[in-house]
Amino acid sequence: MSGVVERMSDALAPRFAAVRRALGAPERTPRTAVVLGRVLGAGLVICFGTGVYSHLLQHPLGWLPLPTRPVDLYAWTQGLHVAVGTALLPVLLGKLWVVYPRLFTWPPARSVAQIAERASIAVLVASALLQVLMGTLNTFQWYPWPFSFTATHFALSWVLVGAMVVHIGVKLPVIAQYWRRGAETPAATPAAGGEEP
């Protein structure tokens, strides 16, 4: 069995490396990923806060009084929610474009911790894409699914925020390294297998 795995690994490793080289671009650096991640994270926090506010106004908790004044407060928060959520679509796609070559590392995971990290990233990406898609379709008042939009959007927002917290915790050393402007890396780093968020 071990021989089969080794032959398979020997056959796949050069192919994965070729794909990563083909996907290489000067913009795909850890610094770019961190900058886009900062914008994306801030936007998600704004959307989460305004979304929770909206949900709690629609489904109030007796013990939690929420401000309802000025009269236009709800309209402002929902306008902010929709505007920021819509603006996050290109930022999310840009972040995914920057980190996409990391999908083609070989072996995909070297430890249980890396398997858990990849699983958490899968949850993060899937929930982020689904939230943006559902929110966009909601702005058109088109619901092609059989479940409640508000309940699902609210529950999925907690999954997304939890996955984001896990992702930030796992990638904190990389984020700290590339947070400041002067921390640039050579363009070949991501394609060569360098760590990126």
Whether pLDDT at 34 is above 70: yes
Phi, psi of 134 (to 5 degrees): -65, -40
Q: How far apart are the first and last CA of the chain?
A: 34
Token representation of residue 134: 């559902």
User: Going from the N-terminus, what domains does the chain have, and what CATH number goes with each?
Assistant: 2-191 (1.20.950)
pLDDT on residue 196 = 45
Q: How far apart are the C-alpha atoms of 40 and 37, rounded to whole Å?
A: 5
Position 25 confidence tier, pLDDT thresholds 50, 70, 90: low
Mean pLDDT along residues 100-109? 76
Predicted TM-score (pTM) of the model is 0.77
Model confidence pLDDT, tens digit, residues 133-176: 999 999 999 999 999 999 999 999 999 999 999 999 888 888 88
Mean pLDDT along residues 54-76? 88
Mean pLDDT along residues 99-119? 80
Mean pLDDT along residues 108-129? 87
Ramachandran bin of 28, using left for φ above 0, alpha for ψ from -120 to 50, beta for the remaining angles = beta
Cβ atoms of 156 and 147 within 8 Å: the answer is: no
Q: How far apart are the C-alpha atoms of 69 and 37, rounded to whole Å?
A: 33
